[in-house]
Structure 1
Amino acid sequence: MPRPTSARFSRVGIIDTPPTDGQRFLMATAAGGVAAGEDIRVLTRAEAEHLELPDYDLWLFDSRTLVRMHIDGSETTIGVELITDRGRVLSACKARDAATAAARSSAEVWAQVRSTV
């Protein structure tokens, strides 16, 4: 009988310095995701730029499918692009791995942000 596998959910958010109101809201609500088992980590925008991460939101599914989010200047999602090209997916996986390794836990970042408010 095959051994059951468990899904892993993780994300890295990028925040400005200081965080915007929307970013503060997302960090304040992250605790629910963490309590449900999600690994939520955070990078500053400067750290993301230093790592040369993509300048768009993305989702990876099973390291095989990339979903690129298209968001306008008012932070409204205007479309999504489903990508299965191996080269583009591999680049996104490398970006995810670099971001995850460099990011700090959302709880750690949130404690610092709240202390300055």
Structure 2
Amino acid sequence: MLVNATVEIEKAANILKLLGDKTRLTMIKLLFSHDCCVCEFVAMFNTSQPAISQHLRKLKDAGLVNETRRGQWIIYSLNKENEFYPMVSELLEHLPNQDFKLKELEEKGLRISCD
């Protein structure tokens, strides 16, 4: 029992360490209510596509996000089946809404429509 508790604490610490990055935390908060494409994150954070892809890869490797291909687009969503989703969800409830970032993209005509 003690070994499992230690493993779980270590896994939770790794998740929290991942979310300790402002960009990844903001991405997860956005994905809490909206699916997003890499291009949207690139425009939103005004950073390179490889940098955004690296953040998303870390989140995906941890099981926090899912990716779905829609034609040429890869859409990211929050993985609600992840064992740490309840903990992450609780944390996200305490953070300010980030939907204004998507609204800003829409106003600039940069919101992707992949349907």
Q: TM-score scaled by structure 2?
A: 0.30
Q: Which has the higher strand share?
A: 1
Q: Which has the higher helix share?
A: 2
